[in-house]
Amino acid sequence: MTSAAASTAASTAAATPAPSPTARPPALLSVGDLHVSYGAITALRGVSLSVGQGEIVALIGANGAGKTSTLRAVSGMLSPKQGSITLDGKPIAGRKSHELVPLGMAHAPEGRGIFLNLSVDENLTLGAYLRSDHEGIEADRENGFTLFPRLRERRQQRAGTLSGGEQQMLAVARALMSRPRLLLLDEPSLGLAPQVIETIFKILRAVNQTGVSILLVEQNAHLALGVAHHAYVLETGQIVMEGTGKDLLATDEIRRAYLGE
Amino acid sequence: MSDLLQHVLNGLAAGTIYALVALGYTMVYGVLKLINFAHGDVMMVGVYVGYASAKQMGRDTSSSFLGVTLVFLLSMAMCAALGFLIERFAYRPLRDKPKLTALITAIGMSFFLSYSFQLEASLGGLTVLPGAAPRAFPDVITSQVWLIIGDVVVSNKQVISVVVALALMGGLQFLVFRTRFGMAMRAVSFDHRTAGLMGIPVDRVIALTFMLGSALAAGAGILYAIKDTLVQPLMGVTVGLKAFVAAVIGGIGHVPGAVVGSLCLGLVEEFVVGYGGSTWRDAVAFGFLIAVLLFRPEGIFGRVTAEKV
Ligand SMILES: Nc1ncnc2c1ncn2[C@@H]1O[C@H](COP(=O)(O)OP(=O)(O)OP(=O)(O)O)[C@@H](O)[C@H]1O
Ligand SMILES: [Mg+2]
């Protein structure tokens, strides 16, 4: 994918009048003019996006486009150089990660972020670190085991002994343990067998039905756009296109650049 | 035969004290991946706090059970506070800088403590800095022989130091592996960014770990000083270095490893001294380190960690 292709895509999208602008729900998360850099390297240059209440929003883009950096800034893993981030209208840019968890933020980070030195059960317990409703926590743990039965069999095992796919399941299950309102997922399908990917996406839909809003970063554009109410395309640190998942799936440029058709 | 038993006993008693210091190195390394070279000097400060509070109480009070306990608690509390300050102002600002920067700062902090304590200073009659002259630690525990089996002599100091050290270690083991805070510590140790995503207040966990390690060092320092050792500002450097060796031998970052490494070191030293090689003591201790690192670079208990991709 070259940036030329993206800018063509962007201008095409801008030129075509939106067929029926579906009204989006009020924003839970809203990001405006976000700039992020790592030392001298600039990763994001003015990203604006929003996640409505109850929406699944996909963020797609090539390697190095800045998807992970966007999620990191939103969840407080790094503080932005410039720009605003609001959750429920409250400014949260620059706040530390642990202060955002009680506001309903959960982030399953790139590379899964499993504590390999702890057991599967301990990982899940940490997902609920700030909660004190013991019964609710155990119910949610059971729920996680129902979603991913393999985890139940391995609950006493050190998470480092899980397969990559099982670790990915644990990452999703753990993120749900905090009962989030906004779930950030960084490539949940990475390294998983097609069947497992299907299961995970089914689960994400079900979780979304319970009212959890999701910001989904995916390499697998086909899957992501299929499930998303709304989607953004990120290219070298900027949003170059947005629309409903369906609309973007139908766009020639997207099909060519991200779906390999 | 009884000779051997006596040496084993002495070696283990010495080893438990190293273990308390080694645990501080290992805990701080665990959460920060930093060798806190000032750790031995924090211990030295703890010994001086113990010295000053025992002197202040006077001989009768300080040698009562309550008095000794108070000496320990005061010294541990002061060191916890010192550990907090060192972490907050010397290490935290460097957390995201290259590891070498923090390491050099740690060495600087070690020099700062050990050399400023060689100055003499007082403020309104109160001694603030003690000066370089060695002093004998007040006799808060009078030497007694508690047990004689054949030729083997067990002194009250040995028993007390082993019991106190074991109690502190047991408490630490419980804290790390059985409590919510311990789980948070282990999570921070593995990956502090992800730990933050769980809602764990990472800065607070690191600060508390420093305070805990420093308090253990203070406890160890007093046990060490009570064994008729002279108190002087450079004492932390040697003991600290030995305990560091013990932590590395056990596998740095590994809690039981630090204990086993320390006991091994205590035994090795005692045998070298006991069988006539006292001038070789330190050489053998560091030779032991080199030998372990040659054959097991990760230490006795250290694991080579591989991450799944
Ligand atoms: N820790 C870092 N230090 C320096 N540069 C970084 C760092 N993390 C990311 N970058 C740079 O920032 C840019 C955006 O990276 P980011 O990880 O956000 O991309 P991404 O869209 O998630 O890519 P991928 O699909 O490969 O995961 C890249 O150019 C990358 O090289
Ligand atoms: Mg990424």
pTM across the whole model: 0.87
- What's the mean pLDDT in A207-229? 93
With tokens 């790139």, the residue in question is: A110
* Tokens found for residue A52: 């409505």
CA distance A112 to chain B (A): 9
What's the rounded Cα separation, in Å, for the pair B117 and B48?
A: 9
- The pLDDT of residue A35: 97
What's the rounded Cα separation, in Å, for the pair A41 and A80?
A: 13
Cα separations in angstroms, B128 against A176, B48, B121, B125: 54, 10, 5, 9
Look at phi and psi of residue A108 and say left if phi exceeds 0, alpha if psi is from -120 to 50, else beta. beta
Q: Assess A167–B contact: CB distance below 8 Å, yes or no.
A: yes
A115 vs B227, which has greater pLDDT? A115
Cα separations in angstroms, B159 against A16, A211, B16: 85, 62, 11
- The pLDDT of residue B296: 79
The reply to whether CATH 3.40.50.300 applies to domain A6-12+26-112+179-258 is: yes
Widest pairwise Cα distance in chain A: 56
Within 8 A of A161 by CB-CB distance, chain B residues are: none
- Among the partner residues A75, A102, A160, nearest to B197 by beta-carbon distance: A75
Contacts for B50 with CB less than 8 Å, ≥ 6 apart: B71, B72, B74, B75, B137, B218, B221, B222, B225
Residue A115 and residue B197: Cβ atoms within 8 Å? no
Selection from B11, B9, B18, B45 nearest residue B145 by Cα = B9
Cα of A65 to ligand 1 centre, how many Å? 7
- The pLDDT of residue B303: 62
What's chain B's Rg over C-alpha atoms?
19
Give per-residue pLDDT as tens, A57-67: 999 999 999 99
- The pLDDT of residue B142: 82
Q: How many CB atoms neighbour CB A204 within 10 A?
A: 20
What's the rounded Cα separation, in Å, for the pair A183 and A179?
A: 9
Give per-residue pLDDT as tens, B176-187: 899 999 999 999
- The pLDDT of residue A21: 55
- For residue A206, pLDDT over 70 is answered with yes
Residues bordering ligand 2, an ion, CB closer than 5 Å: A 68, 110
Q: Assess B309–A contact: CB distance below 8 Å, yes or no.
A: yes
What's the rounded Cα separation, in Å, for the pair A230 and A224?
A: 10
Residue A115 and residue B194: Cβ atoms within 8 Å? yes
- What's the mean pLDDT in B191-218? 95
Within 8 A of A101 by CB-CB distance, chain B residues are: 197-199
Within 8 A of B195 by CB-CB distance, chain A residues are: 115, 126
With tokens 């990982």, the residue in question is: A123
Q: How many CB atoms neighbour CB A163 within 10 A?
A: 12
A65 ligand 1 Cβ < 6 A: yes
- Among the partner residues A77, A122, A127, nearest to B193 by beta-carbon distance: A77
b/e code A58-75 from CB counts within 10 Å (16+ = b):
bbbbbeebbbbbbbbbbb
Give per-residue pLDDT as tens, B134-175: 999 998 888 888 888 888 888 888 888 888 888 888 888 899
Q: Assess A104–B contact: CB distance below 8 Å, yes or no.
A: no
- What's the mean pLDDT in A234-240? 95
Residue B199 and residue A98: Cβ atoms within 8 Å? yes
Nearest alpha carbon, ligand 1 atom 24: A63
Dihedral angle computed from the Cα positions of residues A11, A15, A17 and A21, in that order, rounded to the nearest 10 degrees: 20
Pocket test for ligand 1, best of A35, A36, A41 (most atoms within 8 A of CB): A41
**Range of weakest confidence among A85-99, B101-115, B236-250:** B236-250
Ligand 1 atom nearest residue A217's Cα: 22
Helix pair angle (A194-209, A164-176), 10° resolution? 0
- What's the mean pLDDT in B202-227? 93
Cα of A43 to ligand 1 centre, how many Å? 7
Q: A119 — phi, psi (to 5°)?
A: -75, 165
Instruction: Grade residue A2 by pLDDT with cuts at 50, 70 and 90.
Output: very low
CB A72 within 8 A of CB B194: no
Q: What is the DSSP letter of B37?
A: T
- The pLDDT of residue A261: 63
A130 ligand 1 Cβ < 6 A: no
Contacts for A62 with CB less than 8 Å, ≥ 6 apart: A1, A235
Q: A120 — phi, psi (to 5°)?
A: -60, -45
A38 ligand 1 Cβ < 6 A: yes
Residue A164 and residue B308: Cβ atoms within 8 Å? yes
b/e code B45-66 from CB counts within 10 Å (16+ = b):
bbbbbbbbbbeebeeeebbeee
- Please state, rounded to an integer, the average pLDDT across all residues of chain A: 89
CA distance B174 to chain A (A): 16
Instruction: Grade residue B257 by pLDDT with cuts at 50, 70 and 90.
Output: confident
Pocket test for ligand 1, best of A1, A45, A69, A233 (most atoms within 8 A of CB): A69
Selection from B81, B102, B103, B104 nearest residue B93 by Cα = B102
CA distance B189 to chain A (A): 9
3-state secondary structure at position A174: helix
- Please state, rounded to an integer, the average pLDDT across all residues of chain B: 88
What's the rounded Cα separation, in Å, for the pair B103 and B120?
A: 28
What's the rounded Cα separation, in Å, for the pair A188 and A184?
A: 10
The reply to whether CATH 1.10.3470 applies to domain B2-118+140-295 is: yes
CB B257 within 8 A of CB B246: no
> How many A-B residue pairs are in contact by the CB < 8 A criterion?
74
The ranges assigned to domains in chain A are: 6-12+26-112+179-258
Q: How many CB atoms neighbour CB B33 within 10 A?
A: 13
Helix, strand, coil percent content, chain A, rounded in steps of 5:
40, 25, 35
Contacts for B73 with CB less than 8 Å, ≥ 6 apart: none
Cα of B227 to ligand 1 centre, how many Å? 57
Instruction: Grade residue A257 by pLDDT with cuts at 50, 70 and 90.
Output: confident
Selection from B141, B281, B289, B151 nearest residue B224 by Cα = B141
Provide the chain B residues 165-194 that lie in CB contact (below 8 A) with chain A: 180, 183-184, 186-187, 189-191, 193-194
Residue B305 and residue A160: Cβ atoms within 8 Å? yes
Give per-residue pLDDT as tens, B13-65: 889 999 999 998 989 888 888 889 999 999 999 999 999 999 988 888 888 88
- What's the mean pLDDT in A157-181? 94
